[in-house]
A = this chain, B = another copy of it.
Amino acid sequence: MMRILKFSDSDFDTEFRRIEQRAEEVPAGIEETVKNIIADVRKRGDVALFELTAKFDKLELDVDSLEVTEEEIEAAMAQISAESLSALQLAAERIADYHAKQKQETWISTDESDVLVGQMVRPLDRVGIYVPGGKATYPSSVLMNAVPAKVAGVEEVIMVVPMPNGEVNPHVLAAAKISGVDRIFKLGGAQAVAALAYGTDSVPRVDKITGPGNIYVATAKQLVFGQVDIDMIAGPSEILVINDGSGNAAHIAADLLSQAEHDELASSVLVTSCEKMAAAVQAEVEKQLSELSREGIARKSIDDYGAIILAQNLDEAIAFSNRIAPEHLELAVDSPFDILPQIKHAGAVFMGHHTPEAAGDYLAGPNHTLPTGGTARFFSPLSLDDFVKKSSIVSFSQAGLQRLGNEIVHIAELEGLEAHAKSVSIRLKK
């Protein structure tokens, strides 16, 4: 049974800290292992990739079979149903439309005629997308990473996906094709990240690596950060549902369980101002849990990190939400837009009773890669911004430098940087 708590419970803070701090510690030794793999790929390049892939993925590769061929992609496309193809295409289009709205243009100011300043926005040249293989193969993850990169104008999108025993999910390849991925390599794990970060004879070096992966992949991404850019490192996923007593308990229960089925470490929390709703959702969760094929995972998640919290009122619920900065926040209330301005921190906000989180996971348009574990206080969803970079532009005319030069020289001298001062004063007319 999902626990029902109150903010006034004496152990509430302790209990919630346990949920907030549920992210697993990185097991000792992993960093060392990953460092060795990266060093090996840097040193031996393709040969290291072949050996490590044979060892970890039981897949023998050579320079000819390392990359997925056009024929292999066509074969995958032929395997999937027309319905699947059209659902993935619809998702890709909607994701592209949303991310296109995030586009920022290069600008140059016109405030002053003698000093122009501006900002140039350019896509990254080449991006690497990590896609997990094996059991959890998610075509939506391909779309959510590759489509924004292509909308941003990234020339070359390189995907890596491990193919344990040579197996690959045809929907993943179809999603890559639909997204416009340029090249796909049959690589996974820390070795794939190392190959993307440093390049080998076969795998080109990229400027940024995005996409989810296991602890080896996440550790490798952290270690190559600075050599390339990376997206955020995601922790376990969470949903917070705020409810005012309106709506349908079965719907809310279904939303909580959609989070819980992901992962035993997922956290699903309802805060409601209505005691009756609390009890009804509690009962519905039990009922629906028993019908789920992933009942084991979902039940453990609900038992360990699920909770129903009874709030005195909506304000208390909102204050709590702002405190924990949830990854997914559902406003399951009658007038969600009325309270949106009070929401300070959340990865994504799902508005009202007809917006289950799952809608946002696939095809509403916004990205499903969101900041977890309270990092919505300072991190943003994956977006077009992740696939562009900016350069400042500064242009002084002679008159402009003459007008502002003395102040520049003054500050340079304050800071004891004489050559800085001189580079300006040497250009000034006396």
Which of A139, A365, A376 has the largest number of chain B CB atoms within 10 A? A365
Contact with B along A411-430 (1 / 0, CB 8 A): 11011011111111011000
* CB of A391 within 8 Å of the partner chain: yes
Interface size of A in residues (CB-CB distance below 8 Å): 116
Chain B: CB-nearest residue to A83: B410
Taking CB atoms and an 8 Å cut-off, the chain A residues in 355-406 that contact chain B are: 355-367, 370-371, 375-381, 383, 385, 389-398, 400-401, 404
Q: Is there contact, CB below 8 Å, between B423 and A251? A: yes
| Cβ contact within 8 Å between A171 and B414 | yes
Given the complex of chains A and B, what is the CA–CA distance between A207 and B375 in angstroms? 9
List residues of chain A with CB under 8 Å of any chain B CB: 83-84, 86-88, 90-91, 97-98, 101-102, 104, 107, 109, 111, 115-117, 119-120, 122, 124-125, 137-140, 171, 207-208, 226, 228-229, 233, 250-251, 254-255, 257-258, 260-262, 288, 292-294, 298, 336-337, 340, 343-352, 354-367, 370-371, 375-381, 383, 385, 389-398, 400-401, 404, 407-408, 410-412, 414-415, 417-424, 426-427
Known: A117-B365, A125-B377, A207-B377. A292 touches B392 (CB 8 A): no
Give A352's nearest chain B residue, CB to CB. B395
In the complex the two chains form, is B391's CB within 8 Å of A261's CB?
A: no
Is the pair B408, A354 in contact by a Cβ cutoff of 8 Å?
no
What residues of B have a CB within 8 angstroms of the CB of A360 in the complex? 392, 394
